[in-house]
């Protein structure tokens, strides 16, 4: 099973100054447990090239590479999995095309959507945004921690929380029932992605152990 606890999601603009590969390499040194390559604007060919470079960085670390949205890119790369949104029958298509071993993540924003998750198709859900964030345009209304808890309670699979999260939120995220925090700006836009990841990993380890 995927370790959702410190789940880095890349953003092309926020990683641009340092470079995508250098940012992810630093974050992995700091202790991220999963990496999602997310770029809504890149072509499939560009994403495949980036994905190959990230696979080289992640080789031997045990940290899985998840591709956002592009099932064909995930398949071409032989990536560990794909994260899809609510549009279309994406989870079903992902499972059919990537096979039983692939990690399939699905975004859910409400308890009703979480109830509808089929654990045969979906390995984990991403729930958010917890807080408003400028990283994703047109996000749905923020859930807060009470809303997060309600969606977590309805999910038949493990959940990772997303949206405006930082190390200091770890305790509230776990208390709400999630198994991890997905982060973009807290790592990609940090002065030191390695140090940021290390602080978040330390915070999640403390709350993760006390909730076991």
CA-CA distance, 138 to 135, in Å (whole number)? 10
Closest separation in Å from C-beta 73 to Mg ion: 13
Q: Is 105 in the site for ligand TZP (CB under 6 A)?
A: no
Residue 79: C-alpha distances to residues 48, 86, 200 (Å): 10, 21, 25
Could you say which of 55, 110, 133, 192 contacts ligand TZP (CB under 6 A)? Answer: 133
Q: 85 among the known binding-site residues?
A: no
Q: Which residue has the tokens 């974050």?
A: 27
163 binds, among Mg ion, ligand TZP, none (CB under 5 to 8 A by kind): ligand TZP
Smallest separation, CB 148 to ligand TZP (Å): 12
Active-site pick, 95, 107, 155, 198:
107
**51 annotated among ligand-binding-site residues:** no
Token reading at 24? 């992810």
Q: State yes or no: residue 183 binds ligand TZP (CB under 6 A).
A: yes
Tokens for 3? Answer: 């370790």
105/193 with CB nearer Mg ion: 105
- What would the two tokens of residue 55 be? 């696979």
Binding test (CB under 6 A) with ligand TZP, winner from 110, 139, 145, 171: 139
Binder of ligand TZP out of 55, 86, 110, 185 (CB under 6 A): 185
Q: How far is the CB of 164 from ligand TZP (least distance, A)?
A: 4
Beta-bridge mates of residue 59: none
Candidate segments 73-81, 117-125, 160-168, 202-210, binder of ligand TZP by CB under 6 A: 160-168
- Residue 136: active-site member: yes
Give helix 193-210 / helix 20-30 axis angle, nearest 10°: 40
Active site residue 38: yes
> Per the annotation, does 36 bind a ligand?
yes
Question: Cβ closer to Mg ion: 85 or 111?
Answer: 85
- Residue 50 counted as an annotated binding residue: no
Nearer to ligand TZP, 148 or 165 (CB): 165
Residue 33 annotated as lining a ligand binding site: no
Is residue 95 within 8 A of residue 66, CB to CB? The reply is no
Q: Which does 86 bind (CB under 5 to 8 A by kind): Mg ion, ligand TZP, none?
A: none
Strand pairing class (65-68; 81-84): parallel
Handedness of CA 57, 1, 87, 151 (dihedral sign): negative
Describe the chain by its helix, strand, coil percentages, rounded to 5: 45, 15, 40
What are 56's two structure tokens? 């080289």
């Amino acid at each position: 099973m995927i370790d959702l606890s410190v789940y880095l999601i890349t953003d092309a603009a926020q990683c641009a100054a340092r470079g995508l590969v250098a940012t992810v390499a630093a974050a992995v040194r700091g202790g991220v447990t999963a990496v999602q390559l997310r770029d809504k604007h890149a072509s499939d060919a560009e994403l495949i090239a980036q994905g190959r470079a990230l696979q080289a960085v992640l080789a031997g670390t045990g940290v899985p590479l998840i591709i956002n949205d592009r099932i064909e890119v995930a398949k071409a790369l032989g990536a560990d999995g794909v994260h899809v949104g609510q549009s279309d029958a994406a989870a079903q298509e992902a499972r059919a095309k990537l096979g039983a071993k692939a990690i399939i993540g699905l975004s859910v924003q409400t308890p009703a959507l979480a109830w509808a998750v089929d654990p045969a198709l979906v390995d984990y859900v991403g729930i958010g945004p917890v807080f408003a964030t400028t990283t994703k345009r047109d996000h749905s209304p923020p859930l807060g921690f009470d809303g997060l808890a309600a969606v977590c309670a309805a999910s038949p699979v493990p959940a990772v929380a997303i949206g405006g999260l930082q190390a200091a939120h770890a305790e509230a995220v776990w208390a709400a029932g999630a198994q991890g925090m997905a982060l973009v700006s807290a790592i990609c836009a940090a002065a030191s992605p390695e140090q940021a990841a290390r602080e978040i990993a330390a915070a999640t380890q403390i709350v993760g152990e006390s909730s076991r």
